[in-house]
């Protein structure tokens, strides 16, 4: 494992280069609006804190004055828990605001290696609790909350609700001498209802080695480079991987197989799941830095997901 110092140096360099790439990505018209406002969550013991970026429907303020409450999508950006920022998914968030008429709260969570697991997950939980506690002031209907995320953010969209449930259970079990804190947490989550998760090419199995994932890809030249995956894994969650036997079926994206496995497990639990596979697409296929790309083909898929989300919110 590389030193934490060297991991930090690599992260800083790649964060800078990624900002250049995302600037090129954002050049394609139409230009996406900036967040309407931000909210900073309380800092931890080291002075670090997460920030929530809010994207609002055009009639948000007028409807809020009339007492209307909007459904909310909480989004988590990608970047291997190490790179990226909350505005990277602005094309997705803009589509949600327009097509679903929902508020989008995009979470700028603490990144590794400065803040390894579980900092990002805890920030996601704190973001949900903040939205629940301030739903009235923000004009949010927290009985209609969906989560979304891309790559590492897709992992957070799945793990944050689990962490929230675990935290709530722990607080209740250890309530002696902490009754006020426990009651406050219970009050915050009493009306919070997560009705859907939209995970785009998420990483879901940390026991699956990167070498095995790459070997199972039909297009290994289009998978994430080894220097990226090594940085992500060592920065966020250094673990020992399990050797797996070769599989016959190969995947386009190195994360596709675990996504398909996850879908089958959810279906086995009786959950309603819709899975979408983009043939011959590389990882992060919707985040091309090429300003002359075919954005319309991406927007079609975004729009389909928004229609699903709106149907869920309108039930």
CA distances from 253 to 151, 275, 283 (A): 11, 14, 6
- Pairwise CA distance, residues 303 & 136, whole Å: 29
DSSP sequence for the chain? ---HHHHHHHHHHHHHHHHHHHHHHTTSSSPPPPPSEEEEPPP-TTS---EEEEE--TTHHHHHHTT--EEEEEEE--STTTS--TTTTHHHHHHHHHHH--EEEEEE---TTTS-TTHHHHHHHHHHHHHHHTHHHHTEEEEEEEEEEETHHHHHHHHHHHHHHHHHHHHHHT-TT-HHHHHHHHHHHSS--EEEEEEES----TTB-HHHHHHTBS-GGGSPPHHHHHHHHHHH---PPBP----S--BSSTTHHHHHHHHHHHHHTT--------TTPPTTTT----TTS-HHHHHHHHHHHHHHHHHHHT-
- Say if CB 73 and CB 104 are below 8 A apart: yes
pLDDT category, 250, cuts 50, 70, 90? very low
Span 168-204, pLDDT tens digits: 877 766 655 555 555 565 566 668 999 999 999 999 8
DSSP sequence for 232-251? HHHHH---PPBP----S--B
Instruction: Phi first, then psi: give them for residue 143, nearest 5 degrees.
Output: -80, -5
Kindly state the tokens that stand for 275: 């899975």
What's the confidence (pLDDT) of residue 247?
A: 35
What's the confidence (pLDDT) of residue 214?
A: 65
- Pairwise CA distance, residues 158 & 105, whole Å: 16
Average pLDDT, the chain: 86
Which residues 6+ apart lie within 8 Å of 286 measured at CB? 91, 92, 150, 200, 298, 301, 302
- Pairwise CA distance, residues 15 & 66, whole Å: 42
pLDDT category, 264, cuts 50, 70, 90? confident
Span 51-74, pLDDT tens digits: 999 999 999 999 999 999 999 999
Site of tokens 């959810």 = 266
Does the reported pTM lie above 0.75?
yes
Which of 11-20, 210-219, 299-308 has the least mean pLDDT?
Answer: 210-219
Instruction: Phi first, then psi: give them for residue 202, nearest 5 degrees.
Output: -80, 155
Is the pLDDT confidence value at 34 over 60?
yes
Taking the C-alpha atoms of 115, 116, 122 and 124 in order, what is their torsion angle to the nearest 10 degrees?
A: 80
What's the confidence (pLDDT) of residue 230?
A: 84
Is the pLDDT confidence value at 2 over 60?
no
Q: What is the mean pLDDT of residues 213-237?
A: 74
Cα angle for residues 49, 206, 185 (degrees, 5° grid) = 40
What's the confidence (pLDDT) of residue 246?
A: 37
- Position with higher pLDDT, 241 vs 111: 111
What's the confidence (pLDDT) of residue 183?
A: 57
Site of tokens 């494992």 = 1
Is the pLDDT confidence value at 219 over 60?
yes
- Position with higher pLDDT, 244 vs 195: 195
Which of 43-47, 199-203, 281-285 has the least mean pLDDT?
Answer: 43-47
- Say if CB 282 and CB 219 are below 8 A apart: yes
What's the confidence (pLDDT) of residue 242?
A: 36
Is the pLDDT confidence value at 130 over 90?
yes
Map out the domains of the chain with their CATH numbers: 4-313 (3.40.50.1820)
What's the confidence (pLDDT) of residue 173?
A: 62
Q: Which of 225, 200, 228 is nearest to 91 (CA)?
A: 200
């Amino acid at each position: 494992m590389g030193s934490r110092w060297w991991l930090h140096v690599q992260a800083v360099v790649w964060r800078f280069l990624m900002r250049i790439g995302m600037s090129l990505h954002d050049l394609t018209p139409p230009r996406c609006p900036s967040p309407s406002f931000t909210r900073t969550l309380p800092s931890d013991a080291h002075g670090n804190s997460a920030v929530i970026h809010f994207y609002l429907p055009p009639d948000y303020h007028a409807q809020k004055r009339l007492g209307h409450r909007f459904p909310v999508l909480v989004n988590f950006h990608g970047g291997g828990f190490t790179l990226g920022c909350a505005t990277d998914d602005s094309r997705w968030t803009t589509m949600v605001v327009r097509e679903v008429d929902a508020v989008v709260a995009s979470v700028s969570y603490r990144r590794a290696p400065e803040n390894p697991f579980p900092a990002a997950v805890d920030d996601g939980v704190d973001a949900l609790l903040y939205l629940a506690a301030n739903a009235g002031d923000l004009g949010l209907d927290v009985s209609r909350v969906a989560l979304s995320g891309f790559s590492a953010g897709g992992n957070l969209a799945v793990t944050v609700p689990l962490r929230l449930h675990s935290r709530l259970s722990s607080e209740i079990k250890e309530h002696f001498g902490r009754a006020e804190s426990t009651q406050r947490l219970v009050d915050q989550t009493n009306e919070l209802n997560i009705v859907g998760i939209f995970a785009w090419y998420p990483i879901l199995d940390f026991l699956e080695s990167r070498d095995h994932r790459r070997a199972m890809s039909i297009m290994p030249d289009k998978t994430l480079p080894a220097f990226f995956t090594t940085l992500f894994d060592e920065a966020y969650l250094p673990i020992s991987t399990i050797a797996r036997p070769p599989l016959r079926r190969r995947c386009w994206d190195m994360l596709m197989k675990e996504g398909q496995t996850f879908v089958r497990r959810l279906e086995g639990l009786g959950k309603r799941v819709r899975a979408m596979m983009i043939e011959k697409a590389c990882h992060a296929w919707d985040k091309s830095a090429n300003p002359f790309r075919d954005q319309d083909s991406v927007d079609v898929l975004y729009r389909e997901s928004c229609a699903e989300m709106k149907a869920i919110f309108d039930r």
